[in-house]
Structures are given as structure tokens and as C-alpha cells.
Structure 1
Amino acid sequence: MLNRYHAIADAIALLFSPYAEIAIHDLTSKTLVYIANNRSQRELGEDSNLSGLQDDYDLQVIGPYLKRNWDGNQLRSISAVLRDDRGDPIGLMCINLDISVLENAKAALDLFLVGNVLQPQPDMLFHDDWQQRINSFIHSWLQQRQLTLATLNGVSRRALVEALYQEGAFKGKNAAGYVAKILVISRATVYNYLKNIKESV
């Protein structure tokens, strides 16, 4: 009956190839009966080292949890209880995903992004960088309101332009055109917003 799960194991292994190994254990014989993409160098028929699962009828998923492979690579694993037509547990499908490649990538990114040699922005270059100040203000304004540029509508765009105006963002040359480009609206629309804002002050 566990044969019906072989195709699922193969499909998962193909989807996450070459990093996922899927093992199916028989709870009756407590042995490994199928393995897709064998990365652990296990053999069919060997002891599964499982016990007690037949007695827990409510158990569905175990994990995720961490394991260490024979080659030292870190695995993130999760196990699903397989059942027969009556709902009784008959097997266990274990998915072992090798995350060492992701850990190495994360370590490389952390090393790059931490930037031990990074220094504060030099005043001589950025003291008059109105574009940088607009970028920072917009990012902060959107974050505070849990918005993105893509989700802005007419009302929120005008509110952002007004906030930028209050911040003095439009003192820079071509600032209106720069803001229009960011908000994906015409320069005329920005000027119209600014006109209305000034009139209402």
C-alpha cells in the first residue's frame, strides 16, 4: 500500500533536485522501504529506528527539525505520517532538505552586507544630495503606513507629496520631476498637488 506514495516522493525529489531526499518507512516492519534521491547513503530494508507511531492516531506531521547528514551538511527535515484507507498509520515519509548551500549563501551575503569597511556617508558628497533625502523620506513614510509605491492611489500620492512638501523636499532643482518619476505620475500632476497644498496652507 505504501507504493502509492512513491510518485509523490519522486515528484518532491525532482522539484527540489538535487537537494532533497525523500525516504518512506514502513511502520509495520520498521524498515526503510523507498528512497528518492538517496543523499544519506542508506539502504532499503535497513532499520528505520522508529517506534510508537502506530499508537498515536492523531499525529499528522512531525517537524520541521534539524539533522546532520553523514557528510556534515545541515538538513532541515519534516516527516508526514502515511495512512491506509481506514486511517491507520502505516508509514512515514521523511523529507530531508540539504540547506548547507543556503547557509553558505547566507554567510556570504551577511559578510558582504555587514560591510566592516563601510563608513558614514561623507558630508562633502551628500550634504546637498536632495535625491537621497527624498528616497529616504519616501521609504520611511511608506514603511510607517505599511504601503508600497505600487499600492499608492490618488489620495495617498497627494498625501505623500504634501508630506514631502512639508519636509522641504521640493527646494532641489528638478525635485518635482524626480518625485513624479518615483510616483509614476506626470510632473503636471505634482505641480497641481503642490498648488493645491500651497493654497490650503
Structure 2
Amino acid sequence: MNLSNYLPICDAVVRLMAPLVEIVIHDIDQDMIIYINGKFSNRTIGDASLLDPEEFNSINTIVYPKVNFDSRPIKSISVLLEKNYLLCINCDISIFNKMQELSSVFLQIGKQSPSLFTNDWQEKLHVTIHAYLQNHNLSFDHLSQSDKKTLVKHLLDLGAFHEKNAADYVAKVLGLGRATVFKYLKEWRTQ
């Protein structure tokens, strides 16, 4: 087998994902590492692979977790290249674990103080719009004109336009012209 066909691909993947990826090619017959790039495992070419060839005879691809020498968690995938070579891609996922921890901290939302926002009709409007979008499986950024009109009708039915300047604010929030919102309201109020 000609490994030179694989090496540019391995080099490209490491270059793209540096410093998060290490790629190792093992010669199973010689129990030896014959290629390594993106080294973060402290292994070198010529080191013993320490693999059991019997484990790989019937497996084409395996994914597994590992722990690096410095305690970083690694997610690995190994692919058997013909009968005697094993390609291993090791990805340092410690940064993703940190990102997950950070996002969980940011996504923890405490309960809002009810007394603080009891008179904030704009906040109530935001909550109502958010609930409407969730209930109708809609995304705010992708609302069509028809969706916006239906949402304005929903807000009217809930009494959202009793507040002073509510129509102006709804127009601004939904990206509608002020005249458009007033036209809708006039249409529905005369029915």
C-alpha cells in the first residue's frame, strides 16, 4: 500500500484543525508509529504502537475516548487502512468541555423579580412574542410578512395595544412600518 497518498490529506486536516488534532499512522505488523503530525501526545515516529492486531482484524472504524498524558480528554477515531496500517485521528476536546461549562454558566437564568418588571409593558410584549414564536415553531429572524401580520393580530387579541405608543413599539420590534401596523389595527377593529 502506498501511504504517500494519505499523507497530504493527514497534513491538511492537522493544518486545518491545529492545535486540536493529532494524526498518527501505525504499522500494525511492526507495532510502530510511522507517521505523526500535530503532536500533543509526546509520541514520535518509531515509538511502539502498543496495539493488539487481533482487535482490528474485523473493525473498519472505531471511535473511542482517551486521556492524554497531561489529563486532557481526547476523542479519537481509528480507521484500518488495508490490513496492516491504522490511521488514528485524535482530537483534544478539552476546549469544547470548557466552552460547554462556560455556556452552561451563561445560560443559567435566575428568576426575574416580579415586582421589578410588573409595569414594564415592553418586557411583557417581548415575553409574549417569544412565547408565540416558540408555540408556532417560528424564528424571529425569518418571519414573513404574513407571520408578522398574524403576530400583530395575536398581540391585539391579548390587549397589547392598550399601552400608549404600543403600536409604534410593535412596528419597531417587528420591522414593520408604523402605517402598516395602524392599517392592520384599523382593519381588525372595524370587523
Using the size of structure 2 for normalisation, the TM-score is: 0.87
User: Percentage identity across aligned positions?
Assistant: 37
The CA deviation string for residues 112-156 of structure 1, in whole angstroms up to 9 with x for no partner, is 4436xx453241x31111111111111111122221123222221
Instruction: Give 1:194's aligned residue.
Output: 185
Q: Give the aligned length.
A: 189
Contact 1:54 1:90 in 2 (8 A): no
Contact 1:53 1:89 in 2 (8 A): no
Contact 1:27 1:54 in 2 (8 A): no
After TM superposition, which residue ranges in structure 1, 4 or more long, deviate above 6 angstroms?
none
Matched ranges for 1:46-85 at <5 A: 46-48=47-49, 49-52=51-54, 55-56=57-58, 59-63=59-63, 65-82=64-81
Cα displacement (A) at 1:188: 0.9
Cα displacement (A) at 1:54: 6.0
Instruction: Give 1:185's aligned residue.
Output: 176
Cα displacement (A) at 1:17: 1.2
Q: Provide the C-alpha distance between the structure 1 equivalents of 2:172 and 2:83, rounded to a whole number of angstroms.
A: 60
Cα displacement (A) at 1:19: 1.6
CA RMSD of aligned residues (A): 2.1
Q: Provide the C-alpha distance between the structure 2 equivalents of 1:91 and 1:43, rounded to a whole number of angstroms.
A: 16
SS in 2 for 1:23: strand
Unmatched 5+ stretches in structure 1: 83-87
Instruction: Identify the range of structure 1 (103-112 vs 182-191) with the bigger mean alpha-carbon deviation.
Output: 103-112
Instruction: Give 1:160's aligned residue.
Output: 151
Unmatched 5+ stretches in structure 2: none
Give 1:171's match in structure 2, choosing from 150, 153, 162: 162
Contact 2:56 2:80 in 1 (8 A): no
Using the size of structure 1 for normalisation, the TM-score is: 0.83
